[in-house]
Amino acid sequence: MISFDSKNKTFKLDTPNTSYVIGVVDFDQLVNLYYGDKIADTEGLEARSFRPRCASFSPLTSEYNTDAHDFSPDCAPMEYGCNGCGDFRTSALSIRNVDGNTVTDMRYEGYRIYAGKPSIDPLPAVYLNSESEADTLEIDMADKVTGMRVTLIYTAFNSLDVIIRSARIENASQRPADIDRAMSMCVDLPGMDYDLITLYGRHCKERSEERRPLAHGLQGIASKRGVSSHCQNPFAALVSKNADENSGEAYGFNLVYSGNFEFCTECDYSGTSRILMGINPTDFTWHLEPGESFQTPEAVMVHTSKGIGEMSRIYHKLYNFNLVPGKYRTEKRPLLINSWEAAFFDFDTDKLVSFAERAKEFGMDMLVMDDGWFGDKYPRNNGTSSLGDWVVCKEKLPEGIKGLTASAREKGLKFGIWIEPEMTNSKSELFEKHPEWVIQQPHREMHKGRGGTQLVLDLSNPEVQEFVFGVVDKLMTAHPEIAYIKWDANMTLFNYGSTYLPRDKQSHLYIAYHRGLENILKRIHAKYPGLVMQACASGGGRINYGMLPYYDEFWTSDNTDALQRIFIQWGVSNFFPAVAMASHVSVDTNYQTGRKTPLKLRFDVAMSGRMGMELQPAHMTDEDKAFARRAIADYKLIRPVVQQGDLYRLISPFDKTGYASLMYVSPEKDHAAYFVYKLEQYHNMPRPAFRMAGLDPQKRYLVRELSLDGKPIPQDGKTFTGAFLMETGLDFEVGGEHASHVLELKAAE
Ligand code: GLA
């Protein structure tokens, strides 16, 4: 619901539990008046933008310094703070005019309110299922001196506490201009009594939670690698000091963009906390000829006063209903066996067929052939060659992909395949033919990635886009049975430069790359709507909303060590649901960490996400095979609730208590899956009460232990009220280091 109060000149955007208020004040300045829990009345709010601050009151004269009552962008909560017009905080918009100065002074001009949501082509965007799902407000602003204009776009959801923001900048002048900075959103919240939560990481250690107090000055996260990166992803939350999973205020911010981004907070003397999120201004400058416009990506803002867990659940719902392609809202994701850690590059048809046989025996749904299946002149036997040469390697697969799809079909399994279509190697037929197709800088030696040969294709070039689309199109045309694609991207955008873009548009490359990718993905999705796609970038190098709505899930990390996955998945769960997290049981003595963990722990961790396997069944003992069959059958019992239920995080691994636990509850609260893991063991270790959350206090639940390997917990087979399970909790011994338990809870009749 969005309304305009013409008397007070305020816009009010309401979601079920939140309000966002914007005011048009003196001199047609646009200010943020409120963002938080839903309010009924906005009268008097505009005083906030004139509030005397700091030293405006003199105890000697007992007088206010009246100057401080004049409107000043310096200390007002500006709705889209601009550069060079008296607002000295980091700006949302900075435009270099043809005369060289960078002053941008946007004033309110008018507005539109309508049902639904605009298209923001050529960028990925949150979609609506019907126009009644959300309303949109567009506010027009103009700089009377330069002729530049900006339209601020807000979409408020009617059944979810989500507000989406973006901005469209238009050159309505007669002369060219350059945008140096254009953020998707800017909010000035009163006070700075918040903690900032971000997710730091690196390859194989993605998404570690970091919580720190807001401090004066600038704080933030960013990527300048051309992609969102392993180090940071475009998500941040601002939470009240007392906020925990179940209570306290939480503001979430997510950018629907996969390229360079910046999120920053700035607290200055004015007592406001400015929050900015958008495309990283480094290497960004965007040239606008008269009449041209630039659209920023969307930022998804969430507010709740029911804790960090509720913020995540709101994001999970958005993912399910308004971000992913939509085919899995009710369907279950396939259980798959992937060849990577099972065989790496060393496989042939027989080996893959034997995986398929075992997978079927274990109760799995799909066989996925990972890297290593292609290359004619240069067969792909390691990471040094062949990307771009997407023809079957005849030595490994003499009957081609057809031989494999046929065996999979025979065994009642679906078939999936790995590709890395945005990349090539200097040792490849593609590079020999088209050296100009890779991202490169003139007169400089190219930095090469994996294998000392990897290079990134220049997707700003439409010919290259056609080629990449063709990789998928040819595969799908020849093998319509391919049901799943693991789409990898193992290099950041090094060698920043394009042989396609003209000299004055070189700074457009990072954006043009992502527009090119969007164009390819849109065409793939339109032609093959049933295809399931996983986004992988050396694991979690590209986990963000910008990869949606074309990808269904993420390979969250190349680190398959079950113990470390608990942390990684915990971090990812802040803004992605379990169904988005591919989580595979891999071999003992883990390849990445050298750690040995029990098969049960590996299964129990994989069961809390979209479960799969990456190991050679032939190497398992009979006992392990029997356990795998049991655990897979049990996963199927809880798959709907894990994949579609509401997540409740209970004991955080980041709290270092030695335990971690979480649970999923069905929307009807009649079915739940509970997980607890022992991360470490020490003498005299205190045992917490295993309290649950999200259940119906009135209902009685039958507790059943799943994935059983030994004696069940004493409460197995007994019923308890939701109130007991949430208030008192179950008391049982988890066992030694790396022990784990999975419980199914079903509402008793
Ligand atoms: C990346 C992926 C892995 C695997 C390999 C194949 O590292 O993250 O899962 O697909 O590439 O080369």
The whole-number pLDDT of residue 58 equals 60
The whole-number pLDDT of residue 749 equals 74
What ligand 1 atom has the least distance to the C-alpha of 370?
Answer: 10
Cβ neighbours around 698 below 10 Å, total = 10
How far apart CA 485 and CA 673 sit, in angstroms, is: 29
Sign of CA dihedral 181, 187, 192, 196: negative
Return the minimum-mean-pLDDT range out of 48-52, 60-64, 566-570: 48-52
Q: Is residue 140 within 8 Å of residue 281, measured between CB atoms?
A: no
Q: Tell me the average pLDDT across 77-85.
A: 92
Does ligand 1 come within 6 angstroms of the Cβ of 418?
Answer: yes
For the stretch 705-727, pLDDT in tens is 999 999 999 999 999 999 999 99
402 contact partners, CB below 8 Å, separation of at least 6: 478, 479
Helix H or strand E encompassing 23? strand 18-25
Strand partners, 703: 745
Whether 329 shows a pLDDT value over 80: the answer reads no
Return the minimum-mean-pLDDT range out of 76-85, 156-165, 373-382, 692-701: 76-85
The whole-number pLDDT of residue 51 equals 52
Atom 11 in ligand 1: which residue has the minimum CA distance? Answer: 538
For the stretch 295-308, pLDDT in tens is 999 999 999 999 99
How far apart CA 432 and CA 376 sit, in angstroms, is: 14
Q: Mutate which of 204, 370, 450 to test ligand 1's pocket (most atoms within 8 Å of Cβ)?
A: 370
How far apart CA 60 and CA 83 sit, in angstroms, is: 36
Q: Tell me the average pLDDT across 469-481.
A: 98
Render 6-20 in DSSP notation, one character per residue.
TTTTEEEEE-SSEEE
**DSSP assignment, residue 445?**
P
In the sheet with 646-651, reading across from the earlier edge strand, the strands are 646-651, 659-665, 671-678, 740-747, 700-706, 719-721
Does ligand 1 come within 6 angstroms of the Cβ of 614?
Answer: no
Render 487-532 in DSSP notation, one character per residue.
E-------S---SSS-GGGGGGHHHHHHHHHHHHHHHHHHH-TT-E
Whether 362 shows a pLDDT value over 60: the answer reads yes
How far apart CA 210 and CA 218 sit, in angstroms, is: 16
Q: Is residue 64 within 8 Å of residue 56, measured between CB atoms?
A: yes
Q: Measured in whole angstroms, how far is the alpha carbon of residue 169 from the centre of its chain?
A: 26
| Ligand 1 centroid distance, CA of 163 (Å) | 36
| Ligand 1 centroid distance, CA of 538 (Å) | 6
Q: How would residue 55 be classed by pLDDT, with cut points 50, 70 and 90?
A: very low
Please provide residue 627's backbone torsions phi and psi, each rounded to the nearest 5 degrees. -65, -45
Q: Mutate which of 345, 384, 488 to test ligand 1's pocket (most atoms within 8 Å of Cβ)?
A: 488
| Ligand 1 centroid distance, CA of 740 (Å) | 28
Show which residues are catalytic.
488, 558
What ligand 1 atom has the least distance to the C-alpha of 486?
Answer: 10
| Ligand 1 centroid distance, CA of 640 (Å) | 28
Atom 2 in ligand 1: which residue has the minimum CA distance? Answer: 538
Return the minimum-mean-pLDDT range out of 16-20, 42-46, 410-414, 640-644: 42-46
| Ligand 1 centroid distance, CA of 345 (Å) | 11
How far apart CA 561 and CA 441 sit, in angstroms, is: 39
Whether 432 shows a pLDDT value over 60: the answer reads yes
Q: Is residue 21 within 8 Å of residue 33, measured between CB atoms?
A: yes
Atom 8 in ligand 1: which residue has the minimum CA distance? Answer: 538
Does ligand 1 come within 6 angstroms of the Cβ of 370?
Answer: yes
The whole-number pLDDT of residue 45 equals 85
For the stretch 87-128, pLDDT in tens is 999 999 999 988 888 999 999 999 999 999 999 988 999 999
Q: How would residue 54 be classed by pLDDT, with cut points 50, 70 and 90?
A: very low
For the stretch 165-185, pLDDT in tens is 999 999 999 999 999 999 999
Q: Is residue 253 within 8 Å of residue 275, measured between CB atoms?
A: yes
| Ligand 1 centroid distance, CA of 627 (Å) | 27
Q: Mutate which of 336, 337, 338, 340 to test ligand 1's pocket (most atoms within 8 Å of Cβ)?
A: 340
The whole-number pLDDT of residue 85 equals 85
Q: Mutate which of 206, 341, 418 to test ligand 1's pocket (most atoms within 8 Å of Cβ)?
A: 418
Through-space distance between the first and last CA atoms of the chain, rounded to whole angstroms: 40
Q: Tell me the average pLDDT across 397-409.
A: 96
Helix H or strand E encompassing 288? strand 286-288
φ/ψ region of 2 (left if φ > 0, alpha if ψ in -120 to 50, else beta) reads: beta
The 10 Å CB-count burial string (b at 16+, else e) for 162-173 is bbbbbbbbbbeb
Q: Is residue 374 within 8 Å of residue 418, measured between CB atoms?
A: no
φ/ψ region of 204 (left if φ > 0, alpha if ψ in -120 to 50, else beta) reads: left
* Closest alpha carbon to 202 in 435, 537, 697: 537
Q: How would residue 333 be classed by pLDDT, with cut points 50, 70 and 90?
A: confident
Whether 326 shows a pLDDT value over 80: the answer reads no
Whether 697 shows a pLDDT value over 60: the answer reads yes
How far apart CA 510 and CA 283 sit, in angstroms, is: 8
* pTM as predicted: 0.97
Atom 7 in ligand 1: which residue has the minimum CA distance? Answer: 538
| Ligand 1 centroid distance, CA of 539 (Å) | 7
Q: How would residue 68 be classed by pLDDT, with cut points 50, 70 and 90?
A: very low
Render 51-72 in DSSP notation, one character per residue.
---GGGEETTTTEE-GGGGS--
